[in-house]
Amino acid sequence: MSFPVAARAKVNLFLHVGDKRADGFHPLQSLAVFPEAGDTLTAEVADALSLDVNGPFSAALAGDGDNLVLRAARALAARGAKLTLTKNLPVASGIGGGSADAAACLRALNDLWRLGHDESALCAVAAELGSDIPVCVASQPRWMEGRGEVLSPVVSLPPLPMLLVNPGVAVPTRDVFSALQMRSGVEMRLPRGRFRDMADLLRFLDASRNDLEMPARLIQPVIGEVLTALSALPGALFSRMSGSGATCFALFPDDECCQRAAKLLGEGKRGWWIAPTRVPAYNIEQESPGRDIAPP
Ligand code: C5P
């Protein structure tokens, strides 16, 4: 029996960076959330390990013989499986698409191969593969620290109607970190994260930044255009770039408002990827193990 596992996009609501460490990575502080938009991955029993990619952004991965998904599978065990990835998210776009796919692969194969690893064991494998992959294993709101792999729980978040927009440019994470100058540092005392409503969350976000936004805009100035367009949309409460870009997000008071804004933006900007979605309401007491089955 195989079933699609959701590989949800990862959105950094804020991202503060500190000075480069001796190992070449930067320490960071972030709040990652997972909207419903995402890729899907299916794992089926097979003798050999294989990966088929389909979906609107599959072409961007053509010729990538050593996809992160295959590396994740091999890191888990030397066994076979037929993997199928439906690539709905733009590649190298700051919303952790590749990381979410690798994390979904770890979860799916853990089940298919009946390995019985718990989340922290999967996160340990994930951390070897990339800084953003452990948080994508959890695929639920988390504070991120360390180089991204040190995770702590958020208590509650309201539902977040969210518009994701990518201007169609790939921005390599490494290049953005290399161009980084201004850093907020990582000394903030992280709150417990009991965000009761949108206003509560916005108070926190207004006092934070994405340190990678400025260097990413230097590399791809079109990111500035996206942010200007997002903040001008009727009902937009807040807009910012996610991760190392170029995808930006805006938050809206309700889903209808978010859908209307997506339509309006789509009329003016051709060629931009525009995805209205939502981060479901979250409460740590209701975190459920059945969460990663993709909707049909
Ligand atoms: O861990 P990952 O492979 O996603 O990182 C890609 C690149 O981004 C790293 O090689 C490094 O240059 C940069 N990076 C960083 N600090 C982090 C995460 C990534 O400098 N915390």
**Integer Cα distance of 205 and 212 in angstroms:** 15
Sign of the dihedral through C-alpha 244, 250, 255, 261: negative
CA distance linking residue 49 with residue 203, whole number of Å: 47
Residue 179, helix vs strand vs coil? coil
Cα 3 to averaged position of ligand 1 atoms, centre (Å): 32
The residues with which 249 forms a beta bridge, in sequence order, are 164, 240
Confidence at residue 287, expressed as pLDDT on a 0 to 100 scale:
77
* Band (164; pLDDT cuts 50, 70, 90): very high
10 is catalytic: yes
Residue 206 appears among annotated catalytic residues: no
- What's the CA gap between 2 and 83, in Å, rounded? 10
Q: How many CA atoms lie within 13 A of 100 on its CB side?
A: 34
pTM: 0.95
Catalytic residue among 10, 39, 211, 292: 10
Mutate to test the pocket of ligand 1, among 99, 171, 174, 184 (most ligand atoms within 8 A of CB): 174
Q: Is the C-beta atom of 26 inside 6 A of ligand 1?
A: yes
**What does the domain layout of the chain look like in residue ranges?**
2-153, 156-282
The fold of the 156-282 domain, in CATH, is: Alpha-Beta Plaits (3.30.70)
Give residue-wise pLDDT tens across range 217-266. 999 999 999 999 999 999 999 999 999 999 999 999 999 999 999 999 99
List Cβ neighbours of 272 (8 Å cut-off, separation of 6 or more): 165, 166, 167, 168, 226, 265, 266
Q: How far is CA 84 from CA 5, 67, 71, in A?
A: 10, 12, 14
CATH level 2 (architecture), domain 2-153: 2-Layer Sandwich (3.30)
Q: Which amino acid residue places its CA nearest to atom 2 of ligand 1? A: 130
Whether 1 shows a pLDDT value over 70: the answer reads no
